[in-house]
Amino acid sequence: MPTWAVILLICGLYLVLVLGLGVWSGRTVSASVDGYVAGDRTLGVIVLYFVLGASVFSSFAFLGAPGWAYSRGAAAFYIIAYGTVGMVPFYFLGPRTRQVGEALGFVTQAEMLAHRYDSHTLSVVLAVLSVVAFVPYLTLQMKGAGFLLSTISDGHVPQWLGALVAYGVVLIYVFASGMMAIGWTNVVQGVFMMVVAWFLGLYLPEALHGGIRPMFEAIADSGQEAMLEAPGLAADGSAWSWGGYSSAVIVSAVGFSMWPHLFMRAFTARSDRTLKLTVVLYPTFQLFLVPILLIGFAGVLAFPNVAPPDTIVPHLLTQIELSPVLVGLVCAGALAASMSSGDAILHAAASIGLRDGIKPLLAGTMSDPRQRQWIRGLVVAISAAAYYFAVFSEVGIVALLLGAYGGVAQIFPLVFAAFYWPRATGAGALSGLLTGIGVNTLFLVAPHLRPLPLHEGMYGLVANVAVFVAVSLCTASHDRDRLAVYMGPSRRVPEPTS
């Protein structure tokens, strides 16, 4: 049997395993929307830990993070920095979100914020923002899976077919079992990709340089010591400024737990204690990034001038002699990274699209079975849209994804104020959000207009907060009954202003 066929067989067996587990996991969940979207709010620490971790680390992490280490050196450490502190706000905001969701039946971020600020318009705007951010994110997962299967099969499986097969599996188990499928498949995928990452991160420096320390010593002695000095290199190869580095960490940390597919996991937790314990344990998942970055550094001297840098991992796999079975397991781990993010994104996008985008625009109520049908229909529709962009379109979606964190970070002031500032109003929230998104987009597409070399999201956040506060103080506050559930019994809720 040819080497490529053995590798492809291993990946095929992995896909069958994940498909079976995903479909099987939905057998005990209720047929309600709570069951499909929030797993009946029963997730424990272990499943929630891997759902939070595996949902964030994607094929972009498996390819992009080593690519940054390979081309920009120490600049890649910003990923570890924001990932470590990015969950800190969720320790305080997550339990409150869970309590409100349980009391009022919410299962999405925008659903909760629309109620707190008494604004259907805000719900629709957040739904549009979420889906716009999700589609390119999901598209990149599909492209990563298709590229991987095409590469390991020596072109016998074209990219369009590889993406179709991998995400056909995702579509089936998300359609069938919803949140429970994501939970249990993420446990398997999370363990698998962590094992693969540590294997490659330790093996490649040893095979190419005789160890991790000799690898870094060789880079320093080669005249490329700038790659090992923070804050690393900018995209053009010049030194990245501390302002750019620090602002990228801040914006990414602020936006980290605001990603709707991650934020929604607060509604799935069994208890406040479960959620807090998961958040405390979460930084240990960042250990996964250490070997990922070592992979990129391993190729700096051994294989210079690989372009684009994001292809350094598959390039190394084709150059280093490993058994076909081992390469197959490594490739299955890379597929796990893609699918563990793709399923969460697809599920969240469909849930948000209905609950926050379509439902507020429809007159009357919608039954649970009807909502579940709509969400499943959107799972298929969003999959088809992302697949189109992944295979047939030449639209530059990477630029959209790079700016997504700046846009998603604009949700943070609204969530924070929802629980800690009774005077915040719907008009203020909507005005601040739209202003922040507008400013972020302006400096994203026209970076030469930035007064300082800071991440565009920083300018968006400053404008967002300023407008949010000003408009809230100029408009009537909400009634005490609405605010009481968000402020909690220990917080004094002021009388509404006119």
Residue 43 pairs with which residues in a beta bridge?
269
pLDDT tens digits, 167-218: 999 999 898 888 888 888 888 888 888 888 899 899 999 999 999 999 999 9
* Any domain includes 482: no
For the chain, what is the HEC assignment?
CCHHHHHHHHHHHHHHHHHHHHHHHHHCCCCCHHHHHHHHHCECHHHHHHHHHHHHCCHHHHHHHHHHHHHHHHHHHHHHHHHHHCCHHHHHHHHHHHHHHHHHCCCCHHHHHHHHCCCHHHHHHHHHHHHHHHHHHHHHHHHHHHHHHHHHCCCCCCHHHHHHHHHHHHHHHHHHHCHHHHHHHHHHHHHHHHHHHHHHHHHHHHHHHCCHHHHHHHHHHCCCHHHHCCCCECCCCCECCHHHHHHHHHHHHHHHCCCHHHHHHHHHECCHHHHHHHHHHHHHHHHHHHHHHHHHHHHHHHCCCCCCHHHHHHHHHHHCCCCHHHHHHHHHHHHHHHHHHHHHHHHHHHHHHHHHHHHHHCCCCCCHHHHHHHHHHHHHHHHHHHHHHHHCCCCCHHHHHHCHHHHHHHHHHHHHHHHHCCCCCHHHHHHHHHHHHHHHHHHHHCHHHCCCCCCHHHHHHHHHHHHHHHHHHHCCCCCHHHHHHHHCCCCCCCCCCC
Q: What is the pTM for the complete model shown?
A: 0.83
CATH value at residue 378: 1.20.1730.10
pLDDT of residue 398: 47
* Any domain includes 453: no
pLDDT of residue 397: 45
pLDDT of residue 342: 83
pLDDT of residue 463: 97
pLDDT tens digits, 102-136: 999 898 999 999 999 999 899 999 988 888 888 87
Q: Which of 151, 147, 143, 164 shows the shortest CA–CA distance to 15?
A: 164
pLDDT of residue 155: 84
d(CA 124, CA 121): 5
* Any domain includes 448: no
pLDDT of residue 300: 93
Look at the chain and report how many structural domains it folds into.
1
pLDDT of residue 434: 96
* Any domain includes 178: yes
* Any domain includes 176: yes
* Any domain includes 374: yes
pLDDT of residue 424: 95
* Any domain includes 424: no
* Any domain includes 389: yes
| Segments of the chain with pLDDT less than 70 | 55-60, 363, 394-404, 489-498
pLDDT of residue 204: 92
Q: 127: domain range?
A: 3-398
